[in-house]
Amino acid sequence: MLAITAKALYTPLEKIDRPMVLIQDGAILKLGPQSATEAPPKCRVTDFGDCILAPGLLDMHTHGAAGYDLMQADAEAHSRMESFLVRHGVTSYFPTTVTAPMDKTLSSLERLANAIESAKKDHNGRAQPLGIHIEGPFLSHARRGVHPPEDLQKPTLAAFDKLWQASRDNIRVMTIAPELDGALEVIAEATKRGVCVSIGHSDAKLDEARKGVAAGARHATHTFNAMRPLDHRAPGILGEVLTNPRLTAEMIADGIHVDPVVINLITKAKGIEGTILITDATAATGMPEGKYQLGAMEVEVKDGRVLHNGTLAGSVLTLDRAVRNVMNFANWDLQNAIRAASFNPAKTTGAPNKGLLQPGADADLVVLTASGEVKATIVKGVVVQ
């Protein structure tokens, strides 16, 4: 058994001063103030001093890091990338695909399913893949970003089922443009199978976005990016995303994809409950400037921007940096910023035992300074300094 203590703990819904967390067999056995929580005899105690304990971060939209692209990664590449994520406080993530030829996508889904199933058996102190986020091929040509136009597809139940079977039921998030012919049927079926359907890469008008929500969509992919612009007379998809409390909204808080002023606007519109921080990270994250892979595409990193033929193609953002950025851009405190990168994405994706520190939950924690710098990460009870 392990007991950990620190100056404070964010569950993150509430704060506990001078906490103690008891961990056994990879799960939280008990937590509370030290004054009311006693460590059993022979229990190993680790004190993190003036630091803050919080749920491990969960990135529901990432394509890679540390030089590795998740659509091509083998077991060793997954291991290296997951070790990199842990150093930035991430204990869980959703590997995310990009649009590619169908045979390559299906092969990628099979490899990602292998990684997910393997991670369930191995408490290795690395970030754990929880499910797959498919970003494409059911996207708008008008708002495709860098997704190859020749590989985009009309949404059909048959095409979705082919992806679903290749993933061995491991698809947990799907980005789709709701205005496409056939999209509403696919949204309804995916929702029935427990998928968090996210509207994005979309040129939808307001009524089309609303129909997508009525069919089951409940999230928005990288808000403002690859969406019909907000217009005061024709608000479009963004009008629905920003005003409908049934939708959570993810954002890339790097100051490049969305201006800090607009990040502040999103947080005000969606509030503490509806805002989710993601990275949309690529293989270039944590690496020097140069050329890297994003699915079947080559991208180039220069001055902090990831570009493909001059268009933004993901980011080099880490989730701990996103937490610190939203504290700066939106004047949020650390507790709320952590919530947007842990509890909110866990709730939105239906990730069991993640994002909330309570008895019975997985012992996934991040140890932070008051300014949000990562000092250590704990994955199912394994401490990684």
Tokens of 208: 């089309």
CB 94 within 8 A of CB 349: yes
- Choose among 220, 226, 204: nearest CA to 312: 226
Tokens of 28: 């939280």
Candidates 280, 320, 362, 364; catalytic one? 280
Q: What share of the chain is helix, strand, coil (3-state, %, to 5)?
A: 30, 30, 40
Task: Please tell me the distance from the alpha carbon of residue 78 to that of residue 73, in angstroms, as a whole number.
Answer: 6
Task: Please tell me the distance from the alpha carbon of residue 53 to that of residue 71, in angstroms, as a whole number.
Answer: 33
CB 23 within 8 A of CB 363: yes
Q: Is the pLDDT of residue 142 over 80?
A: yes
- Choose among 258, 294, 251: nearest CA to 274: 251
pLDDT, one tens digit per residue, over 346-362 is: 999 999 999 999 999 99
pLDDT of residue 118: 92
Confidence band, pLDDT 50/70/90 cuts, at residue 73: confident
Nearest-5° angle of CA 38, CA 41, CA 42?
Answer: 125
Three-state SS for 20? strand
| Four-residue CA torsion sign, 80, 130, 280, 264 | negative
CB 136 within 8 A of CB 201: yes
pLDDT of residue 385: 84
pLDDT, one tens digit per residue, over 42-72 is: 899 999 999 999 999 999 999 999 999 999 8
Task: Please tell me the distance from the alpha carbon of residue 7 to that of residue 261, in angstroms, as a whole number.
Answer: 33
Which helix (H) or strand (E) segment holds residue 62: the answer is: strand 57-62
Relative to beta strand 27-33, strand 44-47 is: unpaired
Tokens of 264: 């502040």
CB 204 within 8 A of CB 235: no
pLDDT of residue 296: 86
pLDDT, one tens digit per residue, over 174-227 is: 999 999 999 999 999 999 999 999 999 999 999 999 999 999 999 999 999 999
Task: Please tell me the distance from the alpha carbon of residue 299 to that of residue 325, in angstroms, as a whole number.
Answer: 24
Share of the chain above pLDDT 70, in %: 100
Q: Is the pLDDT of residue 123 over 80?
A: no
The per-residue pLDDT of the chain, averaged, comes to: 96
Task: Please tell me the distance from the alpha carbon of residue 143 to that of residue 10, in angstroms, as a whole number.
Answer: 38
75 CB neighbour count, 10 Å cutoff: 10
Task: Please tell me the distance from the alpha carbon of residue 328 to that of residue 37, in angstroms, as a whole number.
Answer: 35
> Domains in the chain, ordered, with CATH?
2-52+372-384 (2.30.40.10), 56-352 (3.20.20.140)
pLDDT of residue 38: 87
Residue at 285: amino acid letter = T
Confidence band, pLDDT 50/70/90 cuts, at residue 124: confident
Peptide bond into 137 cis (omega under 30): yes
- Choose among 384, 382, 359, 363: nearest CA to 374: 384
Residue 281's DSSP bridge partners are 62, 315
Peptide bond into 12 cis (omega under 30): yes
Burial of 232 per CB tally in 10 Å (0-12, 13-18, 19+): exposed
Task: Please tell me the distance from the alpha carbon of residue 61 to that of residue 65, in angstroms, as a whole number.
Answer: 12
pLDDT, one tens digit per residue, over 227-270 is: 999 999 999 999 999 999 999 999 999 999 999 999 999 999 99
In the residue annotation, 59 being an active-site residue is answered as no
Per the listing, tokens 């609303």 go with 210
Task: Please tell me the distance from the alpha carbon of residue 6 to that of residue 9, in angstroms, as a whole number.
Answer: 7
pLDDT, one tens digit per residue, over 310-332 is: 999 999 999 999 999 999 999 99
